[in-house]
Amino acid sequence: MLAERNIDVPASEIRKIFNMIIGRTDVFDMTVGIPDFDTPEHIKEAAKKAIDDGFTRYTHNAGYIEVREALAQKLKRDNNIEADPVSEMVLTAGGMGALVLANLVMINPGDEVIYPDPGFVSHYAHIKLAGGIPIPIQLKKENRFGLLSEDVEHKITPKTKMIVLNSPNNPTGGVTPNSELKRIAELCIENDIYVIADEAYEKFRYVDEEPLFIGSLPEMKERTVSIFSLSKTYAMTGWRIAVATGSSEIIGAMTKLQEHVIAMPTSIAQKAAAAAAVGPQDCVADMLKTFRKRRDLITKGLNDIEGVEIAPPGGAFYAFPDVSAYGVKSYDLVHKILNETNVVTIHGTAFGKYGEGFLRLCYAVSTERINEALSRLDSYLPKLLH
Ligand SMILES: Cc1ncc(COP(=O)(O)O)c(C=O)c1O
């Protein structure tokens, strides 16, 4: 009864884990990528004011122009991207909204799209939804899960239409070095390849190198859709708001399509986004500081467990330890850990086939929960070796 495109789009493997723990209050949940911070006060105030001031109606399909203008300031300040608010920006319902639109307006059936594996589960789903052929590119532990241009080059064929980039990466925390990013940009120009740059974790980086955004490089703006979600940056996951920027041709097509799908993201979330973009940024710096501490804590704690190996993740708020020493498939290991310790983790294979041998633990949770999870893992995992 259902259309074929449903069959092609898999359900998220993460759901399987969520479903197992529904209603359980005795578990230590390390699964979901939701910052445990509340949305900063000045952003909430802007939303309340928007309601009181009557910003409650349909807006332009690309979002209020004054909100796009505010976000254009952010793009210039933080990302070195010059975007025309009138024609080169569209506000979307989270990064997810932009990812779907970008895939649908760019991909023809049969086009090959290179994407990182392990990677964000929806990247694969969106390529399939658009009729594209997903071509996984392995992010390797020995490269700290950063993408190498050499690996990209090997995957390019005459059918390659696009590449999806995500650095810092979910689920590995890997950061692609700037030199590699520049070479990837050259490859894209040489081979006429388009880019989706999913910058969801742009602010959560622990590496020394200054961030470089591929959409800011010469000749890349016209072939890159850069997506900046406010979900993680400003602890706004439930508000569903992001901005996408790129050439007027692509952004125009995304805006036209959005009209027929959700019309536009919520007017109130748009107004909140403007406050986030031009308001004080110390909330972001505070979150980064906290995440860095937790990253150090979880990295050390995991390495102290016999059989677990992890290098400090360069960004995002996920630890992706190598647990292959236990000789158990990561999906089975998640079950064993849950049954024996009540700690909930996600199997690496939920993020693609190259995730085998790894687990994902989200450390956007309290220090207490991290400590408890570490101690429970330490009391159980080494037993698997003996
Ligand atoms: C890499 C990546 N991209 C996009 C998203 C989508 O987030 P949102 O739609 O809330 O912006 C997520 C959420 O976890 C993510 O990890």
pLDDT tens per residue, range 338-360: 999 999 999 999 999 999 999 99
8 Å CB contact between 357 and 324: yes
CA of 125 to the centre of ligand 1 (A): 13
Q: Quote the Cα angle for 109-120-7, to 5°.
A: 45
8 Å CB contact between 172 and 313: yes
Burial of 265 (0-12, 13-18, 19+ CB in 10 A): buried
8 Å CB contact between 237 and 75: no
Preceding omega of 321 cis (within 30 degrees of 0): no
Is the C-beta atom of 95 inside 6 A of ligand 1? Answer: yes
Dihedral of CA atoms 213, 219, 134, 62 in degrees, nearest 10, equals 70
Write the DSSP symbol of residue 323: -
When pLDDT is averaged across residues 315-321 and rounded to a whole number, the result is 97
Which pLDDT does position 252 carry in this prediction? 98
Ligand 1 atom at minimal distance to the Cα of residue 237:
10
In sequence order, which residues have a C-beta less than 8 Å from that of residue 19 and are 6 or more positions away?
A: none
Residue 164 has pLDDT above 80, yes or no: yes
CA of 307 to the centre of ligand 1 (A): 31
When pLDDT is averaged across residues 359-383 and rounded to a whole number, the result is 96
Q: Where are the alpha helices (DSSP H) in the chain?
A: 4-8, 13-21, 41-52, 65-79, 94-106, 121-129, 149-155, 178-190, 230-233, 248-261, 267-278, 282-303, 330-341, 367-380
8 Å CB contact between 269 and 96: no
Write the pLDDT tens digit of every residue in 222-257.
999 999 999 999 999 999 999 999 999 999 999 999
Write the pLDDT tens digit of every residue in 31-77.
987 878 999 999 999 999 999 999 999 999 999 999 999 999 999 99
* Residue to mutate, 12, 96, 172, ligand 1, most ligand atoms under 8 Å from C-beta: 96
Bridge partner list, 29: 344
8 Å CB contact between 134 and 107: no
When pLDDT is averaged across residues 99-116 and rounded to a whole number, the result is 98
Is the C-beta atom of 198 inside 6 A of ligand 1? Answer: yes
The structure tokens 């409650």 sit at 56
Residue 386 has pLDDT above 90, yes or no: no
Bridge partner list, 366: none
Ligand 1 atom at minimal distance to the Cα of residue 119:
1
When pLDDT is averaged across residues 295-306 and rounded to a whole number, the result is 98
Is the C-beta atom of 31 inside 6 A of ligand 1? Answer: no
Residue 300 has pLDDT above 90, yes or no: yes
Residue 19 has pLDDT above 90, yes or no: no
Which pLDDT does position 34 carry in this prediction? 80
In the predicted model, what is the mean pLDDT of the chain? 96
Kindly report the protein residue whose alpha carbon is nearest to atom 11 of ligand 1: 95
Enter the tokens of residue 84. Answer: 């025309």
Which pLDDT does position 12 carry in this prediction? 85
CA of 95 to the centre of ligand 1 (A): 6
Name the residue type at position 279. G
Residue 5 has pLDDT above 90, yes or no: no
Which pLDDT does position 214 carry in this prediction? 98
Separation between Cα atoms, residue 137 and residue 151, nearest integer Å: 7
Is the C-beta atom of 119 inside 6 A of ligand 1? Answer: no
Residue from 170, 167, 159, 205 nearest 184 by CA: 167
CA of 212 to the centre of ligand 1 (A): 19
- Give the percent of the chain with pLDDT over 90: 92
Burial of 9 (0-12, 13-18, 19+ CB in 10 A): middle
Is the C-beta atom of 170 inside 6 A of ligand 1? Answer: yes
Q: Quote the Cα angle for 288-122-92, to 5°.
A: 70
Which of the four pLDDT bands, split at 50, 70 and 90, describes residue 166?
very high
Residue by residue, DSSP assigns 230-250 as HHHHTT-TTT--EEEE--HHH
Alpha-carbon Rg for the chain in angstroms: 21
CA of 347 to the centre of ligand 1 (A): 18
Is the C-beta atom of 166 inside 6 A of ligand 1? Answer: yes
Domains present along the chain, CATH in parentheses: 4-37+283-385 (3.90.1150.10), 41-278 (3.40.640.10)
Kindly report the protein residue whose alpha carbon is nearest to atom 16 of ligand 1: 170
Residue 178: what are its φ and ψ, rounded to 5°? Answer: -60, -40
When pLDDT is averaged across residues 188-206 and rounded to a whole number, the result is 98
Which pLDDT does position 351 carry in this prediction? 97
Q: Which residue has the higher pLDDT, 19 or 325?
A: 325
Which pLDDT does position 18 carry in this prediction? 85
- Give the percent of the chain with pLDDT over 70: 100
Preceding omega of 40 cis (within 30 degrees of 0): no
